[in-house]
Amino acid sequence: MVADRELIPFSRPYRSAKEISNLTAVLASDHAHGDGPFTASASARLRMITGAGHVLLTTSATHALEMASSLLGIGVGDEVILPSFTFPSAGDAVARTGARCVFVDIDPATGTIDPTQVIEAIGPATRAISIMHYGGMPADLPALTSIARDHDLPLIEDNAHGLGVPGLGIAGVLAAQSFHDTKNVHSGEGGALLINDFALVERAEIMREKGTNRSQFLRGQIDKYSWVDWGSSYLPSELNAAVLDSQLSEFDEIQRMRHAVWNRYATELAGWAHDRGVMLMDPPGGIHAAHLFYLLLPEWSMQAEFIDALRAQGVQAAFHYVPLDTSTAGQRYGRTLRPLDRSEDFSHRLVRLPLWAGMPESFVSRVIEAAKSFVPVR
């Protein structure tokens, strides 16, 4: 059907100008392990972008979330409240400690955790509230921070989608960023832990360096380093940091290009969506990170049909997430207070369109035309 037309991929990793020369510099420097000059530079850029007090690069967002659980001392007998509509990493970070996930529903306007359900879910075993800013649309932070304060519970932010949105990554005690190559800026695989409570910094540095005080040793604060606490190897290599630093140096330009694609979808699909009963992503206050663009079809049955119809026209679209409370591991490691209807409905109606920095205008036009030509089978 579209043999003459190039497939439009769902996402394409960004190529930054200096990534190759940075990599060459690392290899020539004989310092390819972690915590070299590119790690320092990328961390400084992340502090600038987010406003976080302290940033530690990690091997992934999943590992940053793992570190968050460990830093907060979450363990057997504890519970963590999190949205069902999120990426499995948030559940992994709880389950691996032996604690239980308590899944709650979302606000369908943003796909982020519903604060009223958080209040209901708080009990004597609750140790933390874990939230995610879907597409970089902020979860209801005024409500969530006041709930966290009233109940003396730490807030953990999964900010994998929301880099650059003011206030995200610094509302919680700890936050995770992802630099997987499907994210706005990437290092192949990678992440960062943002630490907003200075009291946790020293322990986090130790945890990231195999449980040793090597970071203090490198700063000349101690004469020799040794095993001082539980830890792991969460430190990315300088090669990853070299790519990340190059990408972050172009962050504003990347965001400008992604927002341009996002804005075309929002504008040019609006009339069609209105006529067809389709809801387009509509961020409150226009605040989002241009990480993704989604639409909600009026009926569950249309999701697969719509994705297939786009694919027939050479356009790769995608859905997500399978609500964690309905997943195999979610049932083993979590519980709910009630059926989470909004998460289920959202995930069955949602389709994401291709979006990346530098996506050609002609591709964006083809996606829009393909979407508009969709006729549901009734």
List of residues 6+ apart from 102 with CB closer than 8 A = 79, 80, 81, 82, 121, 126, 334, 335, 336, 337
| Residue 189: Cβ within 10 Å count | 16
Closer of 321 and 363 to ligand PLP (Cβ): 321
List of residues 6+ apart from 51 with CB closer than 8 A = 166, 169, 170
Nearest distance, CB of residue 113 and ligand PLP, angstroms: 12
Any idea which residue has 């341009």 for tokens?
Answer: 260
Paired residues of 290 in beta bridges: none
Nearest distance, CB of residue 38 and ligand PLP, angstroms: 18
Paired residues of 57 in beta bridges: 192
Nearest distance, CB of residue 189 and ligand PLP, angstroms: 6
Nearest distance, CB of residue 61 and ligand PLP, angstroms: 3
Q: Are 233 and 210 in contact (CB under 8 A)?
A: yes
Nearest distance, CB of residue 111 and ligand PLP, angstroms: 11
Closer of 135 and 231 to ligand PLP (Cβ): 135
Closer of 234 and 366 to ligand PLP (Cβ): 234
Name the residues that contact ligand PLP, by CB under 6 A.
60-62, 87, 89, 132, 158, 160-161, 178, 180, 191
Closer of 262 and 276 to ligand PLP (Cβ): 262
Closer of 163 and 269 to ligand PLP (Cβ): 163
Closer of 87 and 251 to ligand PLP (Cβ): 87
Instruction: Tell me if residue 165 falls in helix, strand or coil.
Output: coil
* DSSP symbols for 273-336: HHHHTPEEP--GGG---SS--EEE-SSTTHHHHHHHHHHHTTB--B--PPPGGGSHHHHHHEEE
Joined together, the tokens standing for residue 57 give 């690069």
Nearest distance, CB of residue 168 and ligand PLP, angstroms: 12
